[in-house]
């Protein structure tokens, strides 16, 4: 058995919904249900850029799929299938078992099927492409926000960014804080159920991967609006409560890696969204309002704008 066969062993599973799965030139997939269209997204994670060398392979398997499922959630799409392209420095059985274990555990939870892949030798790099189904005309796009809409955020923000800073050596967290922050960074939970429910309420949505301010700016840009955010309303992760306010602001507003959803909705949807929060057991918090203009302004308790020029996490910035 050569190393290629070895790798195939960890990823080959019988086709479930696919008409033809892994092992031919192409996989064959059934069309979306009548009235629905295909939503697709792709991400690439590179060692040393998106995760540290020596990261737990089980968590990597989870995260490489989770960040893509998060894009489906942000679109209001239901997961259907995905492909995996993987470059590995070598074929390590224990690493592959753990990586594929983390990947498939999440795939099974989310109800999504691996239908094709490519493995090669190279610097550790994972690229997943996901596809989901969404009613034609019912997707949660970035360009649908209206002036006067509320801006909402799911869950809590900032913990993942603190784990990044700790691992990069910029700060030292207590063991208790690190455990919570690292779990948020390494095991993000795609908000799939929320995305499906928001089809009925949200006017625009995206996932917070690069920081709330930078990501909300994408909704502003594509909806030709501006946004005012109230800093005191932002759901900063409780684990950060002992940190200085500047650190909390930086982590929660421009830290990245949260994979929560940010969405806009008409004020008339407030009670329905509050009820949805209870139903899902997931905090949904109003943090601001869409208004005419451009750009995102975050105001402190006194109503003064915060300096958020550092913006989101730019993969090509000299960080």
Binding-site residue numbers are 25, 41, 43, 50, 71, 117-118, 142, 207, 209-210, 257, 313
Which of residues 9, 16, 42, 266 is near a copy of itself by CB under 8 A? 42
Parallel/antiparallel/unpaired status of strands 260-265 and 296-299: unpaired
Which of residues 119, 249, 254, 264 is near a copy of itself by CB under 8 A? 119
CB of 239 to a copy of itself, least distance (A): 27
Which of residues 8, 13, 15, 44 is near a copy of itself by CB under 8 A? 44
Closer by beta carbon to a copy of itself, 51 or else 231: 51
CB of 44 to a copy of itself, least distance (A): 4
- Placement of tokens 């080959």 in the chain: 12
Please, are residues 163 and 178 in contact by the beta-carbon 8 Å criterion? yes
By CB under 8 A, the residues from 164 to 223 that bind a copy of itself are 205-207, 222
Q: Half-sphere exposure of 268 toward its Cβ, with a 13 Å CA cutoff?
A: 4
Phi, psi of 60 (to 5 degrees): -65, -40
CB of 4 to a copy of itself, least distance (A): 6
Which of residues 96, 110, 139, 163 is near a copy of itself by CB under 8 A? 139
By CB under 8 A, the residues from 47 to 66 that bind a copy of itself are 48-50
Closest CA to 67 of 130, 117, 154: 130
Which of residues 9, 16, 17, 28 is near a copy of itself by CB under 8 A? 28
Which residue ranges are tagged as binding site for substrate? Answer: 50, 257, 313
Size of the site for a copy of itself (CB under 8 A): 71
Give 132: exposed, middle or buried? Use CB within 10 Å, 0-12, 13-18, 19+. buried
Closer by beta carbon to a copy of itself, 158 or else 190: 190
Q: What gap in Å lies between CA 256 and CA 122, rounded to an integer?
A: 27
Piece of the chain touching a copy of itself by CB under 8 A; list 28-36, 100-108, 181-189, 240-248: 28-36
Closest CA to 147 of 9, 264, 47: 264
By CB under 8 A, the residues from 73 to 92 that bind a copy of itself are 74-75, 77, 81, 83-87, 90-91
By CB under 8 A, the residues from 277 to 296 that bind a copy of itself are none
Structure token pair of residue 115: 């239908």
CB of 104 to a copy of itself, least distance (A): 18
Q: What gap in Å lies between CA 117 and CA 128, rounded to an integer?
A: 9
Closer by beta carbon to a copy of itself, 36 or else 243: 36
Q: What angle do CA 215, 56, 83 make, to 5 degrees?
A: 60
Q: What gap in Å lies between CA 134 and CA 35, rounded to an integer?
A: 9
Q: What gap in Å lies between CA 186 and CA 63, rounded to an integer?
A: 6
Structure token pair of residue 40: 């697709």
Interaction of residue 71 with a copy of itself, rule CB under 8 A: yes
Which of residues 15, 56, 92, 141 is near a copy of itself by CB under 8 A? 141
Closest CA to 219 of 43, 74, 77: 74
Piece of the chain touching a copy of itself by CB under 8 A; list 101-109, 113-121, 267-275, 291-299: 113-121
Closer by beta carbon to a copy of itself, 223 or else 239: 223
Q: What gap in Å lies between CA 114 and CA 103, rounded to an integer?
A: 10
Which residue ranges are tagged as binding site for ATP? Answer: 117-118, 142, 209
Neighbouring C-beta atoms of residue 59, cutoff 10 Å: 20
């Amino acid at each position: 058995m050569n190393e290629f066969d070895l790798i195939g062993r960890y990823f080959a599973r019988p086709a479930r919904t696919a008409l033809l799965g892994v092992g031919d030139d192409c996989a064959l997939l059934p069309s979306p249900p009548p009235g629905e269209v295909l939503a697709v997204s792709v991400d690439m994670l590179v060692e040393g850029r998106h995760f540290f060398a020596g990261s737990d392979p089980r968590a990597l398997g989870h995260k490489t799929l989770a960040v893509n499922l998060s894009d489906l959630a942000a679109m209001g799409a239901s997961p259907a299938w995905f492909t995996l392209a993987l470059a590995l420095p070598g074929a390590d059985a224990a690493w592959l078992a753990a990586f594929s274990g983390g990947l498939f555990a999440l795939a099974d939870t989310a109800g999504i099927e691996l239908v094709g892949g490519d493995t090669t030798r190279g610097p550790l790099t994972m690229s997943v492409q996901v596809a989901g189904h969404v009613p034609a005309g019912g997707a949660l796009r970035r360009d649908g926000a209206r002036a006067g809409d509320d801006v909402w955020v799911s869950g809590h923000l900032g913990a993942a960014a603190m784990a990044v800073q700790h691992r990069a050596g910029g700060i030292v967290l207590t063991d208790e804080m690190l455990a919570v922050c690292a779990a948020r960074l390494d095991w993000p939970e795609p908000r799939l159920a929320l995305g499906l429910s928001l089809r009925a309420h949200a006017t625009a949505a995206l996932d917070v991967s690069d920081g709330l301010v930078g990501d909300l700016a994408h909704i502003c840009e594509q909806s030709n609006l501006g946004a005012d955010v109230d800093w005191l309303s932002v759901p900063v992760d409780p684990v950060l409560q002992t940190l200085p306010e500047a650190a909390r602001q930086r982590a929660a507003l421009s830290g990245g890696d949260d994979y929560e959803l940010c969405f806009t909705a008409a004020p008339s949807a407030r009670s329905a969204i509050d009820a949805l929060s209870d139903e899902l057991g997931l905090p949904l918090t109003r943090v601001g309002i869409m208004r005419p203009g451009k750009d995102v302004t975050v105001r402190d308790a006194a109503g003064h704008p915060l300096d958020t020029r550092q913006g989101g996490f730019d993969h090509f910035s000299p960080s």
